[in-house]
Amino acid sequence: YGVEADAFNAADRKKSDDNIDLTALARFAPDATSTIEFGYARKTRSPNLYERYAWSTGGMAMRMINMTGDGNGYVGNLDLEPETAHTVSASFDWHDAGQEQWSLTLTPYYTYVNDYIDARRIDPADTSTDAFVYLQFVNQSAHMYGVDISGQQVLAENTQYGDFTASGMLNYVRGKNQTTDDNLYNIMPLNALLAIEHHTGGLTNVIELELVDEKTRVSQVRNELQTMGYGLFHLRSNYQWKQVRFDFGIENIFDKFYNHPLGGAYLGEGKTMTGTDVPWGVSVPGMGRSLYAGVNVTF
């Protein structure tokens, strides 16, 4: 560590970032059943302490620098610049005149990120695809685009069994490193959430179906893990009594095994870069059946 420590101590470590964020939104309602919004946002993020100031390329030290959960080792970069994201979006909202019976919202967006903080391998000759690797944070260019869709529809009102409403959300995002043509790390694949809500008196019940597509577009530089698609059922209920609300529910009702696309790599204790204790390629399993309950009191 001595040589690298001396070099780091002798370097110019003083950094000053002047970041500017701004947003602009225009909204237009051509009639009582539709609304259109157009937006632009500029958002900046300075490198954090680990990304900029972690200085050792020693194996043990690099393995302790991991904020992404991928199991790889990282070293910082004093030359990092803040990343700046420019996002343009549009939102199209259709609904009934009273905004009570049905609605559908479609929001496409595009983001370009200048000086995106990604990573490159310390050893350019390392072309492994099935091992933990050593990486350095670097500025590159990236872009993301996608669409969010949501909607709801009242199915029945004032029946002897109460009110019923259907709702749904669908999300898709694609992330690409334009410098390396690699996929961005930790991008959620196509996913959807469908729900039926039942309301009667102070009682509300919701049954949800969560659907997630397989994750095959992964970051090659990080040897990110692929995951299979899955579907989960959840049940949520709450009862409102005066100023008190009781919440209870069951997530993953059928206790289905799955690997969450953003769960990262399973490391365990005593993991080494050679995989002698925990092999590369083991995803962190998603939550099994989970029961919860809570009480909320308002004053």
Q: Which two tokens stand for residue 267?
A: 């490391």
pTM (2 d.p.)? 0.90
Cα 75 vs. chain centroid, distance in angstroms? 24
Length of the chain: 299
**Cα distance between residue 28 and residue 40, in whole Å:** 15
Please report, for the chain, the start and end positions of each structural domain, with discontinuous segments joined by +. Answer: 2-10+26-297
Q: What does the DSSP assignment read for 218-245?
A: --TTTTPPPB--EEEEEEEEEEEETTEE
Query: pLDDT (tens digit, 9 = 90+) per residue, 50-72?
Result: 999 999 999 899 999 988 899 99
CA distances from 163 to 34, 52, 101, 156 (A): 25, 55, 12, 5
- Torsion (CA) 264, 124, 56, 265 in degrees, nearest 10: 10
Q: Is the pLDDT reported for residue 274 higher than 80?
A: no
Q: Which of 150, 160, 234 is nearest to 197 (CA)?
A: 234
CB atoms within 10 A of CB 134: 19
Query: pLDDT (tens digit, 9 = 90+) per residue, 105-161?
Result: 999 999 999 999 999 999 999 999 999 999 999 999 999 999 999 999 999 998 889
Angle among Cα 19, 22, 26 to the nearest 5 degrees reads 170
**Superfamily name with CATH number, domain 2-10+26-297:** TonB-dependent receptor, beta-barrel domain (2.40.170.20)
Query: pLDDT (tens digit, 9 = 90+) per residue, 235-263?
Result: 999 999 999 999 999 999 999 999 999 99
Residue 230 sits at φ, ψ, to 5 deg, of: -160, 165
Q: Is the pLDDT reported for residue 270 higher than 60?
A: no
At 143 the pLDDT is: 98
Q: Is the pLDDT reported for residue 268 higher than 80?
A: no
